[in-house]
Amino acid sequence: MLYNSFLKEGVVYVPTVVKLQTGAYMDTEPVTVVPVASTEGLRLALLGVIAKGNAVVPNAPKDNWPPPVLLKYTRAKTWSAFKRGASHWHIQDKDGNYQIVGYRTHLKGYWEEDPDQIIKFAAGSTIDEVIERMITILQDAARQQSN
């Protein structure tokens, strides 16, 4: 299971994530939008998306791929415009073993996993512990972005 969160200009976007039949993940509706300062709002958003899981859906036809769902919520016209000033993390759950993965921008402009931002949790860690850590990461990143 995989759950994304994006931070931009003091706002966190938590999309529903589906798994395509090919195995890739895609952000979709609904998207929960929460001010980063709202600890309880972030907790509820993350718990809500995790409770949904990752439904498996068919791939969109190659000539009819939908635009990134986050553009609608941020009013960005393009994905590259959204990415400017944004940060991205995901929570991954592999058979109850959790990790948080942060992303960095590759030289070619796309996001890639940042090995320096991978936090692995001990076996037996709870989703509540993972969510608390994710909230801390998001709020710390927002403070760094505003400085």
Q: What is the DSSP letter of 133?
A: H
Using DSSP, state whether 50 is helix, strand or coil: helix
What is the Cα Rg of the chain in Å?
A: 15
**pLDDT tens for residues 76-95?**
999 999 999 999 999 999 88
Using DSSP, state whether 129 is helix, strand or coil: helix
Distance CA 4, CA 64 (A): 23
Mean pLDDT over 127-137 rounds to: 97
In sequence order, the β-bridge partners of residue 5 are 89
pTM: 0.94
pLDDT of 129 higher than 80: yes
Task: Identify the structural domains of the chain with CATH numbers, from first to last.
Answer: 2-146 (3.40.1590.10)
Distance CA 44, CA 56 (A): 23
**pLDDT tens for residues 29-47?**
999 999 999 999 999 999 9
Specify the pLDDT at position 100: 98
pLDDT of 15 higher than 80: yes
The first and second tokens of residue 137, run together, are: 């990461």
One-letter amino acid of 137: I
